[in-house]
Amino acid sequence: MTQTPDTATPQAGTLPDRLSVDPRSPHHDAGLLKRGIGIRFNGAEKTNVEEYCVSEGWIRVAVGKTLDRKGNPLTLKLKGQVEPYLREPAAEE
pTM of the predicted model as reported, rounded to 2 decimal places: 0.75
Domain ranges of the chain: 17-86
DSSP type of residue 28: B
Give yes or no for a contact between 57 and 79, defined as CB atoms under 8 angstroms apart.
yes
Give the long-range contacts of residues 46-52, CB within 8 A, separation 24 or more. 49/21, 50/20, 50/21, 50/22, 50/75, 51/18, 51/19, 51/20, 51/21, 51/22, 51/25, 51/27, 51/75, 52/18, 52/19, 52/82, 52/84
Residue stretches of the chain with pLDDT short of 70: 1-13, 89-93
pLDDT at 72: 87
